[in-house]
Amino acid sequence: MANTITLEQQIGKGEFNEVYRSGELAVKLFNKGYSKADVMNEAYIQARIEEVGGINIPKLHSIPLMNDRYGIVMDYIPGKNMAELIYENPKDTEKYIDKLVDIQMEIHTKRCPYLIKMRDKLADRINRSDLDEDKKFELLTMLDGSPKHNKVTHGDFTPHNIMVGEDGKIYILDWNHASQGNASADVARTYLWLCLHHKEIAELYLDMFCQKSRTDKRYVQRWMPVVAGARLIKKKDGEEELLRKWVDVVLYE
Ligand SMILES: Nc1ncnc2c1ncn2[C@@H]1O[C@H](COP(=O)(O)OP(=O)(O)OP(=O)(O)O)[C@@H](O)[C@H]1O
Ligand SMILES: [Mg+2]
């Protein structure tokens, strides 16, 4: 495989990066000044997940430094992400969400002892949030009392991070939030994201997941204050009001 990376065509854009095609490769190119440790960590997790086996992800190749910007070089997947497909074919939404749920359940069957523990990650974020000390204590107590699981969880399992290849094969992207922990918390995280950004499919998703996995909805709902509190540190425009509402559910229950 050729070593030269040329940025041929932009194929994606995130908050801190752009994604380019380079022949048979894709480069996730991070902004200048973006944490080197975070780039290495994302690539490390991707490599670990590759080793787990049975989870389809683009193969990781290298982490070059290009004009003061780090890139994660991986296989290019010809196709579209599931968010684009849902937007283009709204009548097939249920079919796509059904597939999304199947893949998420499959990922939860995997184990990877090298990943960070979800409860440590959530506790760290709650501690770093601007919630008052009483709220933090309440959320941390909830977290502490939750069942201790070690399932592989993607942590940002949304339609944008699922590539549907031209051949119909599905690949999961963007593993930097992965951890080992509780499946219901991972589902609560996806549900929260859908409530924030695609409210029209949030209930469909939660109903389908709970039905397929025979999970009582309340197991997922119990995680909402914790996952909402942990997301507050992102300080994303338009999210704060709803996140604080979810956090407060725990106080008045
Ligand atoms: N290997 C790849 N092959 C084809 N398209 C890709 C590939 N990697 C990323 N993309 C496209 O680029 C988009 C953004 O990529 P990715 O999800 O990794 O970044 P991001 O969402 O910015 O990450 P973050 O959530 O860390 O900000 C994807 O939704 C997908 O459409
Ligand atoms: Mg993404």
- Kindly indicate the confidence band of residue 214, based on its pLDDT and cuts at 50, 70 and 90: very high
Q: Which tokens go with 150?
A: 């070690």
Hey, what amino acid is at 44? Y
**Would the CB of 41 count as within 6 Å of ligand 1?**
no
Total count of residues recorded for the chain: 253
**Would the CB of 166 count as within 6 Å of ligand 1?**
no
Atom of ligand 1 nearest to the CA of 160: 29
This prediction has a pTM of: 0.95
CATH topology of domain 9-76: Phosphorylase Kinase; domain 1 (3.30.200)
CA distance 193 to 11: 23
**Would the CB of 17 count as within 6 Å of ligand 1?**
yes
Q: Which of 225, 244, 214, 207 is nearest to 97 (CA)?
A: 207
**Would the CB of 81 count as within 6 Å of ligand 1?**
yes
Confidence (pLDDT) at 237 = 87
- Does the domain made of 80-252 have the CATH classification 3.90.1200.10? yes
Contact partners, residue 162, CB within 8 Å, separation at least 6: 81, 82, 100, 103, 170, 171, 172, 173
DSSP string, 185-248: HHHHHHHHHHHHH-HHHHHHHHHHHHHHHT--HHHHHTTHHHHHHHHGGG--TTTHHHHHHHHH
Q: What pLDDT digit, counting tens, does each position of 172-183 carry? A: 999 999 999 999
- Count Cβ atoms within 10 A of the Cβ of residue 97 and give its class: 0-12 exposed, 13-18 middle, 19 or more buried: buried
For residue 45, report the distance from its CA to the centre of ligand 1, in Å.
15
**Where in the chain are the domains?**
9-76, 80-252
For residue 160, report the distance from its CA to the centre of ligand 2, in Å.
6
Hey, what amino acid is at 115? L
For residue 217, report the distance from its CA to the centre of ligand 2, in Å.
26
- Confirm if 39 and 63 have CB atoms less than 8 A apart: yes
Q: What pLDDT digit, counting tens, does each position of 104-153 carry? A: 999 999 999 999 999 999 999 999 999 999 999 999 999 999 999 999 99
- Confirm if 247 and 228 have CB atoms less than 8 A apart: yes
For residue 10, report the distance from its CA to the centre of ligand 2, in Å.
14
> Would you give the DSSP letter of residue 58?
P
Hey, what amino acid is at 230? A
**Would the CB of 14 count as within 6 Å of ligand 1?**
yes
Q: Which tokens go with 167?
A: 């051949």
